[in-house]
C-alpha cells in the first residue's frame, strides 16, 4: 500500500482540480509519488477533455502582449464567462499574448501545455482562438485599447499610424473598438463582396417600385452608406460624427498603416 496522508490528497486536489477519490486513487497508483500522481490525473483529465471538444465555446478573453516593435492580440476561448474571468484563465491568456509578441504566433500555438492544464482543472472546452501579431516599423506610432468586462478583456484593438501622435492613435483605437470596421479602405473590400451587396441593393430598389432610370444612382448612394458602416476611413468619428476618420487623419497629416481587432463573441 502506498504511503500518503490526507494532506497529500488535499494538496493534489488543489494542484489539479481533481475530486477527492480521483486524487486518492492517483496517489495509490503512483505509489505516493506526487508528481507521478499529478501526471496520471492530467492524462485522465485530457482524455475527458477530448469528449468536450465539440461543446460550443463562444466566451473567453482577449489579451494584448508587446515586445520591442511587436504587438500581439490573442483570444483564449471558453464555454462560460465564469471560467473566462477566473485568474488562472486570464493568466494563461496573457502568457500566450506575451509569447506571441516576443516569439511569434507559431511559438505561441506550440505552447499547448498551459491550455491543456486549464481544460483539466476548469473542465471546459478551452482552446486558442484568433490572434494577430502586428509589426511596428521605426518612426511609426502604435497604440492599443482593451475594453474590460468583469476583469477580462472582451474587445482588443491595436492600431499603427504613419505620422500623427500617440493620442491620435489612441482615439482611433477607441473608435475601432466601438465602430468595429471590417476594412481599412474600400479598395480592401473584396470585389465579390461588393458585387453581392450591389445585387442585393438593386433587388431592394426594384422591389420598392423606383423608376428604372434612377436605379443606378439609388444603388450607388446606398452602397456608399454600406461602405461607411464597414470601412474605417469612411466611418464617422465616434467622438465627432461631423468628420470621418479619413478627415481626422488628413487634418493631422497621418494615415493608418494597419489595425487589428478581436471581440469576444464577434
CATH number, domain of 37, equals 1.10.8.10
Both 131 and 200 in one domain: the answer is no
Strand partners, 64: 73
Instruction: Tell me how far apart the alpha carbons of residues 30 and 126 are, in angstroms, rounded to a whole number.
Output: 28
- Residue 66: inside a domain: yes
Nearest CA to 62 out of 51, 48, 73 is that of: 73
Both 106 and 144 in one domain: the answer is yes
Both 98 and 133 in one domain: the answer is yes
Give CA 58 to chain center in angstroms: 11
**How far does the chain reach from its first CA to its final CA, in angstroms?**
54
Each residue's pLDDT, cut to its tens digit, for the chain (266 residues) gives 457 788 888 887 777 766 677 778 878 888 888 888 877 777 776 545 555 656 788 999 999 999 989 999 999 999 999 999 999 999 999 999 999 999 999 999 999 889 988 887 888 889 999 999 999 999 999 999 999 999 999 999 999 999 999 999 999 999 999 999 999 999 999 999 999 999 999 999 999 998 999 999 999 999 999 999 999 999 999 999 999 999 999 999 999 999 999 999 87
CATH number, domain of 112, equals 3.30.479.20
pLDDT at 53: 58
> C-alpha cell of 155?
474587445
Both 110 and 21 in one domain: the answer is no
Both 45 and 132 in one domain: the answer is no
- Per the structure, the complete domain to which residue 204 belongs is given by 190-230
Both 247 and 257 in one domain: the answer is yes
pLDDT at 6: 81
Amino acid at each position: 500500500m502506498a504511503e500518503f496522508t490526507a494532506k497529500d490528497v488535499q494538496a493534489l486536489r488543489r494542484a489539479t482540480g481533481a475530486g477527492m477519490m480521483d486524487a486518492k486513487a492517483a496517489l495509490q497508483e503512483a505509489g505516493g509519488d506526487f508528481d507521478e500522481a499529478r501526471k496520471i490525473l492530467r492524462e485522465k483529465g485530457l482524455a475527458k477533455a477530448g469528449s468536450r471538444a465539440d461543446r460550443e465555446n463562444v466566451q473567453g478573453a482577449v489579451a494584448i502582449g508587446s515586445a520591442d516593435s511587436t504587438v500581439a492580440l490573442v483570444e483564449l476561448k471558453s464555454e462560460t464567462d465564469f471560467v473566462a474571468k477566473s485568474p488562472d484563465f486570464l493568466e494563461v491568456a496573457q502568457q500566450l499574448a506575451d509569447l506571441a509578441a516576443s516569439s511569434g504566433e507559431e511559438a505561441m500555438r506550440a505552447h499547448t501545455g498551459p491550455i491543456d492544464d486549464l481544460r483539466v482543472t476548469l473542465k471546459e472546452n478551452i482552446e486558442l482562438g484568433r490572434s494577430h501579431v502586428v509589426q511596428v516599423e521605426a518612426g511609426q506610432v502604435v497604440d492599443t485599447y482593451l475594453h474590460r468586462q468583469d476583469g477580462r478583456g472582451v474587445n482588443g484593438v491595436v492600431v499603427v499610424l504613419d505620422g500623427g501622435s500617440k493620442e491620435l492613435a489612441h482615439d482611433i483605437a477607441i473608435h475601432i473598438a466601438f465602430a468595429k470596421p471590417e476594412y481599412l479602405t474600400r479598395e480592401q473590400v473584396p470585389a465579390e463582396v461588393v458585387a453581392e451587396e450591389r445585387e442585393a441593393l438593386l433587388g431592394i430598389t426594384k422591389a420598392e417600385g423606383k423608376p428604372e432610370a434612377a436605379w443606378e444612382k439609388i444603388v450607388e448612394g446606398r452602397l456608399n452608406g454600406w461602405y461607411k458602416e464597414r470601412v474605417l476611413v469612411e466611418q464617422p468619428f465616434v467622438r465627432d460624427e461631423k468628420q470621418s476618420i479619413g478627415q481626422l487623419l488628413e487634418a493631422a497629416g497621418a494615415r493608418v498603416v494597419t489595425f487589428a481587432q478581436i471581440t469576444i463573441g464577434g
